[in-house]
Amino acid sequence: MSDKRLRFLIPSDYPSARQVQQQIAQEMLKLGYGEHSLFATKLAMEEAMVNAIKHGNRLDPAKHVRVEARLNPHKVCIVVEDEGPGFCRQSVPDPREDQNLEKCCGRGILLMESYMNQVQYSHGGRRVKMVKCNDPDLYPRIAK
Amino acid sequence: MPQTTPVLSVTQQKDIRIVEFVHNKILDEANIKDIGDTLNGLIEEKEYPKLLLDFSNVEHLSSAALGMLINANNRVKARNGQLRLTHIKPPIYEVFAITKLNKMFRILPTRQDALASFNP
């Protein structure tokens, strides 16, 4: 069975991002993904797309977000790319450290990395690739 | 699409404000801002605010929602008030545990437990 591929080019707004998330989640449901894999992927997609729209494109209506999903019954691979200046993953502090615990932001990346099997940044941080396996593992991997 | 129905249901028991999230998702930026504004209003109406947040309906939340809750917690602390969270479903509790926010918030299993945990 060949992979199902979905491609989107959306403006920098949240309703468009939600529609994309819903379509990808529907495909995952059709392919038999379990509750936990769906929960994890929905959460990671939300964080990645909000990051792209808000921090990447800075809500600029002239900029777009490109989303590509490749799915089969065993794993889903999602790429989200913005048109912003990019960022360095290493420069994002760990929100779990005592001095950062009361800060109101900076947890999206931690959640993505905890819930997905693989998270990779490229193109200067403008592109993130996330992979989630459809496995019975009920608990997310805590990001190191 | 932004939700048009109220995002919170607020009741009171003695001097404790009980706030229930109406929707099953706390994701939308506009909703999160509305919730944050309402919570801030409730925090500022009392000298020593006592707030109980009931997550019975919540099935999805984002890091932006966590940020809003941390902001509320900081404001409650600044006024020497008390904040409790209850009825958090296991998948949502996991989000708190991963981010270590389960150490920051007082999370209790039931509304009864939470109400009993407030200091006079």
Q: What is the DSSP string of chain B?
A: ----S-SEEEEEETTEEEEEE-SSEE--HHHHHHHHHHHHHHHHTSSS-EEEEE-TT--EE-HHHHHHHHHHHHHHHHTT-EEEEE---HHHHHHHHHTTHHHHSEEESSHHHHHHHS--
Q: Are B24 and B59 in contact (CB under 8 A)?
A: yes
Q: Do B100 and A96 touch (CB under 8 A)?
A: yes
The pTM score is 0.92
The ipTM of this complex is: 0.90
Do residues B41 and B27 touch, judged by C-beta distance below 8 A? no
CB contact under 8 A, B94 and A43: no
A-B CB pairs within 8 A amount to: 61
Residue pLDDT, tens place only, A120-143 = 999 999 999 999 999 765 556 555
Over residues B66-104, the pLDDT tens digits come to: 999 999 999 999 999 999 999 999 999 999 999 999 999
Can you tell me which residue has the tokens 């959640």?
Answer: A111
Nearest-CA neighbor of A105 among A86, A92, A118?
A92
